[in-house]
Amino acid sequence: MHVSINDAVLIEQYRNGDSEAMEQLVLKYQNRIYNVILKICADPDDAAELTQETFVKVIENLDKFEGRSGFYTWTFRIAVNLTLNYCQRNSKLAFKSLDAEQQQDDSQVKQVLKDFLSDDSSPDPAAEVQSKELYRIMARTLMGLDEAHRAVIVLRDIEGMSYARIAEVLDVELGTVRSRLSRARSKMRDILEDILR
pLDDT for 36 equals: 87
The beta-carbon contacts of 101-108 under 8 Å, at least 24 apart in sequence, are: 101/137, 101/192, 101/193, 101/195, 101/196, 101/197, 102/192, 102/193, 102/196, 102/197, 103/189, 103/192, 103/193, 104/189, 104/192, 105/189, 106/185
Q: Could you read off the pLDDT of 169-185 as tens digits, one per residue?
A: 888 899 999 999 999 98
What is the C-alpha separation between 157 and 159, in angstroms, rounded?
Answer: 6
The pLDDT tens digits for 57-79 are 999 999 888 888 889 889 988 99
Architecture of the domain made up of 5-93: Orthogonal Bundle (1.10)
**DSSP letter assigned to residue 93:** G
Same fold across 5-93 and 106-196: no
Q: What is the DSSP string of 109-129?
A: HHHHHHHHHSS---SSHHHHH
Q: What single string gives the DSSP state of each residue in 27-81?
A: HHHHHHHHHHHHHHH--HHHHHHHHHHHHHHHHHHGGG--SSS-HHHHHHHHHHH
Size of the chain in residues = 197
The pLDDT of residue 132 = 66
- High-pLDDT (> 90) share of the chain, %: 28
**Domain residue ranges of the chain, discontinuous segments joined by +:** 5-93, 106-196
74-117 pLDDT per residue, tens: 998 899 889 888 877 774 444 332 323 333 344 545 555 555 55
**Taking Cα atoms as reference points, which of 84, 65, 193 lies closest to residue 137?**
193
Distances (CA, A) of 19 to 57, 64, 183: 15, 18, 44
Q: What's the topology of domain 106-196?
A: Arc Repressor Mutant, subunit A (1.10.10)
User: At 197, is the secondary structure helix, strand, or coil?
Assistant: coil
Q: Is 97 helix (H, G, I), strand (E, B) or coil?
A: coil
pLDDT recorded at residue 113: 56
Q: Is the pLDDT of residue 34 over 90?
A: yes
